[in-house]
Structure 1
Amino acid sequence: MPGTVLLLAASPVGKGRLVDAASVLPVLAAVAPAVLSGTETANVVELADPLEPQAVLTRLRAAATAPGPLTVFVTGQLQLDRKQHLPHLALARTTSATVRYTGFPWAWVREELRLRAPGTTTLLLDLHADAETWQWLRARPLDSGRANAVYGRIAPPPSRRVVAVPSYMKAVATILRSGWRPPVEQLHQQALGRLGAEGYADVVLAAPGVVGAGVPGGSAPRPPSALKGPRPQTPPEGGPPDGLDDAGRSQKSDSDPHTAITDAVQSGRHTAADALAAEHEQAAVRAHGRGSEEALHWTEVRADLAMLAGDPVRSCRAWLAVAAARLAAGQPPGTPAVEAAVDRAHHQWGQIREPAPARELGLALAELRSRVPGRRAGALDHVRKQLLQLQAQS
């Protein structure tokens, strides 16, 4: 039976663009349809920077009702709408203020694919998240349907004034251009391997059938028929730092400090965002202890804030501290939270350009990598080779 392939690449036009999503389409289009699908023959539908959510829905619905295996390749960026704070795939006209009306709700992906037979649908995703969505993903999975196989990555926001490249999807396309499609799990691992240290900060999606139990926090929008996280209480001693309101901090921060932090980041007030996170971190330490989940959550938030502010030294140091604290608390090296902390420290270390802090933090990273090698082969060797180069430069 012939298969169906949907190639969807979407990102906003203008300064809101985080990734050049459409740049991957020529590479994917050069792959034979049968190889894209993994079937003897296949029909391919391509959507490049679509303008309207309804147009995407129409193509997705047609693909979902086609008989035979369905493979969906999605490249783009995720943003939250302001009303329900649910993830949308940003389209060409999407801005931060119009996500709800111009973006494609991710819940529609789940809704359109839910009636397909289990084992017949595969999604390959290369997505970038903006700062707010990146924090939202800390506490919630990207629900793409329980019966679908989902592989890929969600990358953190790129540096300011930088448009990222869909490196994972380009790696997938390059592998497939050989003319042979390996089993999708193997294809996924090969693509991750080609990313190297670049991909250590990513949220890796590798689920053969189940990716999350739903989208909590409000009802998901249904298609037409034709930075959240744990919330410790507001610091009991004095409340948030003085001066943040004068700097334009959101009045919502008393009930949800993550909202105020996101507002500060989006307006470029990185120092204010870190000050507010630091206040909550210290409150959590006083109330629960340095190694508590409440305190470590805020340390992780500050690590991400440093990344968003373009300070890889501070971000790397914070992630190393999180990993060390989790190991000291008795968490096994293979625990996902431990591996994620070391992976993200590794990624940020690779962004450091000053030799002295790179050598200092590299030694600490090498020690952690010897205990937490992670799930990608060669991570410890990568650190050691980079350290040798740094030492040769000194």
Structure 2
Amino acid sequence: MPGTVLLLAASPAGKGCLVDAASVLPVLAAVPPAVLSGTDTANVVELADPLEPQAVLTRLRAAAGAPGPLTVFVTGQLQLDRRQRLPHLALARTTPATVRYTGLPWHWIREELRLRAVGSTTLFLDLHADAEAWEWLRANPLDSGRNNAVYGRVAPPPSRRAVAVPAYMKAVATILRSGRRPAPAELHQLALGRVGVEGHADLVLAATGVGGAVPGGFAPRPPYRPERPRPQTPPLSASLERGHPHDGLKDAGRQRSSDVDPHSAISAAVQSGRHSDADALAARHEQAAVHAHGPGSEEALHWAEVRADLAMFAGDPVRSCRTWLGVAAARLAAGQAADAPAVEAAVDRAHHQWGQVRDAAAARELGAELAGLRSRVPGRRQGALDHVRRQLRQLQTQG
């Protein structure tokens, strides 16, 4: 099965630039796609100094939805938005005052990759943090998704008025240009060896699978602490190690195995076109979470979000939109702020799916609910509420 490679290099234009991120792309682009991916063939998507976070999200979403292995190379700089103090990948138009609207929220990367099967996604990161983001990283892990293998480094701010070089990523690219594709962990260690003294102040990322990032090397500051995984819902039947995934779907509630992640079985069902089986399995976990923790719990809302994504994969934007609207309303009812990342993400996804609805009656019904939510959750894109209202006016003229 062919792989997919996403090359993303981004940094602000002008004096806010900490790293010459785009300088690594010619070196990476010279590597054969199959070597970048570690598969026989691969499709490569390159984003050099993108301007709009939504454009990056569109490419990321497409890459995340592709079957087969996915390898993501990200080079750039981290900054915190002033309102929520959350990390963003700075883009070409980003300034300290506009991070929230012009940067790519790091949690978007995590969200887009969350339904991919364990072991199918590898990220290589070469990031420079500004002073505020560097302090934030002393107490917080850079959460790139619990199912993904993550390698790389985060470097502290360079000396004043200096623009750093993405030395780690250039080392990765140089090693790969030899034509040999080491295993990701070996490639990571080889690249660190080439970075040498320059990287002695870095936070080194070396994490595989569930559990977040852990210290992988030099850390003169407090160590890079692992993510505390969220409580897990009852895992799948042990029959998924023994037989066809469909057998495990039937017996999911009967046996338990701590070694099986239900998200993997769901991803496998989606990739094989068994959308109803995937939704049925997610629904069982949602019901179990509601019973154990309550309908407004994070565990139950997680499985509702999974079902919303599954509806999208199944080509049912009506069900997907309706589910995302329900998730957003539940989070607001639970007291979450209108600008909380999970609330904004739910409304944004509902808005996107609403745009895919072709039945005028369903679009009018969902649009009215979306407009009500948009008045409370305007999101990061200016004019989102006006867009809903304009579309609703057009729908009123249709039969």
- Alignment TM-score, normalising by the size of structure 2: 0.55
Match for 2:7: what amino acid? L
Q: Write out aligned runs for 1:237-386 (5 A).
A: none
Deviations 1:255-287 (A, max 9, x none): xxxxxxxxxxxxxxxxxxxxxxxxxxxxxxxxx
Task: Indicate the residue corresponding to 1:4 in structure 2.
Answer: 4
Aligned length: 225
| Partner residue in 2 for 1:68 | 68
1:133 counterpart residue number: 133
- 8 Å CA contact 1:152–1:206 kept in 2: the answer is yes
**Corresponding position of 2:105:** 105
> Shift of residue 214 of structure 1?
7.1
Q: Is residue 51 from structure 1 mapped to residue 51 from structure 2 by the alignment?
A: yes
Match of 1:29 in 2: 29
C-alpha separation in 1, matches of 2:105 and 2:121: 19
Structure 1 segments, 4+ long, off by >4 Å, are none
Local SS of the residue matching 2:198: helix
Counterpart residue identity of residue 228, structure 2? A
Alpha-carbon distance between aligned partners in 2 of 1:55 and 1:65, rounded to the nearest angstrom: 16
Q: CA deviation at 1:96?
A: 0.1
Instruction: Report what 1:118 is aligned to.
Output: 118
* Pairing 1:112-261 to 2, within 5 Å after superposition: 112-209=112-209, 210-211=211-212, 212-213=227-228, 219-221=340-342, 222-223=344-345, 224-225=348-349, 226=352
1:180 CA displacement: 1.0
**Alpha-carbon distance in structure 1 between the residues aligned to 2:8 and 2:21:** 9
RMSD: 1.5
List alignment gaps of at least 5 residues for structure 2: 213-226, 231-335, 353-399
Q: Distance in 1 between matches of 2:191 and 2:100?
A: 32
Q: Which residue of 2 aligns with 1:83?
A: 83
| Pairwise CA distance, 1:60 | 0.1
Q: Residues 76-115 of structure 1, C-alpha deviation per residue, up to 9 Å, x if partnerless?
A: 0000000000000000000000000000000000000000
- Name 1:18's counterpart in structure 2: 18
Measured in 2, the distance between the counterparts of 1:85 and 1:161 equals 24
Which residue number in structure 2 is paired with residue 366 of structure 1?
none
Question: What does residue 263 of structure 1 align with?
Answer: none
The answer to whether the 8 Å contact 1:4/1:66 transfers is yes
Do the aligned residues in 2 keep the contact of 1:19 with 1:77 (CA within 8 Å)?
Answer: yes
Contact 1:143 1:213 in 2 (8 A): no
Give percent identity, aligned residues only. Answer: 79
The CA deviation at 1:220 is 3.0
- Cα deviation digits, residues 194-227 of structure 1 (max 9, x gap): 0111101000000011312379x9943554312x
The AA in structure 2 aligned to 1:50 is P
Contact 1:146 1:213 in 2 (8 A): no
TM-score by length of 1: 0.56
Counterpart secondary structure, 2:24? helix
C-alpha distance in 2 between matches for 1:102 and 1:213:
29
